[in-house]
Amino acid sequence: MLTQIINGRILTPQGWLKDGSVLICDGKILEVTNSDLAVIGATVIDARGMTIVPGFVSMHAHGGGGHDYTEATEEAFRTATNAHLKHGATGIFPTLSSTSFERIYQAVDVCEHLMKEKDSPILGLHIEGPYLNPKMAGTQYDGFLKTPDENEYIPLLERTSCIRRWDISPELPGAHDFAKYTRSKGIMTAVTHTEAEYDEIKAAFAVGFSHAAHFYNAMPGFHKRREYKYEGTVESVYLTDGMTVEVIADGIHLPATILKLVYKLKGVENTCLVTDALAYAAYEGNEPIDPRYIIEDGVCKMADHSALAGSLATMDVLVRTMVKKANIPLEDAVRMASETPARLIGVSDRKGALAKGKDADIVILDKELNVRCVWSMGKIVPGTDNLLHK
């Protein structure tokens, strides 16, 4: 089926096209052009007054629609993925929280199965933990935290290629050997839930830790011990050239001023927007049944108010927050939600940009930056055909 989206402002790798068109067929982009002339035989979608951007790449989301990926069932994977897909995440890396290796193997089996489906938006698996510093991991992972064990992770990674990212605390014994091994496998390896300072971050970067998960969250900044002052993980990551970052840009986990600072110091090419969403993102059901959590102030918190537990955001929320609260140009906000994560996690050959030959993953935003229509691999995502009925 030949489809042409016309009359919209289009974000291309070269910049904006005004009132151009995107021609798609068989799940691929055939052409992006500044012409708004309708092609004979194509189904024409008029995006007059709207903005056409690449589909977002979500590389850190624990769940959505009432399900958590750590449930490790097809129902959970499909429900959570579809919930985020409706908000523009046309490529997603389901994230597992710290859990047992038995559960990780179950999730791997589900992920591998779903990735084989034609036009699947699931691009690989992301694991956070269980190799986390217990001082920085909170109470939600009690019973699962441990130090890296090559007798666990090597057999797993020799069995599957679906794991594309793994986050751990770099200061743990065995963490450097872990990073060397994951780097040899082409797996994005990130520091997370850490209290590492400059020398530790430098050493971690040298062995393969290339990224900082939910930057600023679950890591210290500048601090004192007795009468002396020390740089924290935050300053250490800033000072490590080449280390990339991600931010939970929901406007709650980080204030707009910090989002501006990350953008200014790390830049578009080194910064990704992530949701870190829990099961209650894009969820229309009842309040959480898990007594550990409460929903308050638009975010999920630990019930004792000791910490934020995760976000309720979707990818479109992140883009709106960066533009409307942090005053970041729309093109840069979109790139941090699409182009940059696609490149960093290794899918930029087909995702993350509107260009000839790429997958036809397309999001149309209205003037308020709300999602009006989503195409995943050239097919309209059910429930996002608002543009067709405007």
139 is in an annotated binding site: yes
Does the active-site annotation cover 149? no
Q: Is the Cα torsion angle 181, 192, 93, 238 positive or negative in sign?
A: negative
Which among 267, 277, 269 is positioned nearest to 65, based on CA atoms? 277
Q: Determine the Cα–Cα distance for residues 67 and 282; give it in Å rounded to an integer.
A: 10
Do residues 300 and 313 touch, judged by C-beta distance below 8 A? Answer: no
C-alpha distance across the termini of the chain, in Å? 22
CA–CA distance from 356 to each of 12, 23, 35, 388 (Å)?
10, 9, 15, 24
Widest CA span in the chain: 75
Of 276, 332, 359, 361, the catalytic one is 276
C-alpha to C-alpha distance for 146 and 139, rounded to whole angstroms: 14
Q: Give the DSSP letter of residue 381.
A: P
| Ligand-binding site membership of 203 (annotated) | no
Question: Has 225 been labeled as part of a binding site?
Answer: yes
308 annotated binding-site participant: yes
| 189 annotated to bind ligand | no
Is 221 within any annotated ligand binding site?
A: no
Is 128 annotated in a binding site? The answer is yes
Asked whether residue 389 is marked as a ligand-binding residue, the answer is no
**310 is an annotated ligand-binding site residue:** yes
Side by side, which strands form the sheet with 271-274? 56-61, 89-96, 125-128, 163-168, 188-191, 209-212, 244-248, 271-274
- Residue 217 assigned to a binding site: yes
The tokens for 350 are: 């087909």
211 annotated among ligand-binding-site residues:
no
Residues in the chain: 390
Residues annotated within the binding site for Zn(2+) are 128, 193, 214
- Give the residue numbers of the binding site: 128, 139, 193, 214, 217-218, 225, 253, 308-310
Q: Which residues are annotated as a binding site for substrate?
A: 139, 217-218, 225, 253, 308-310
Active site residues: 276
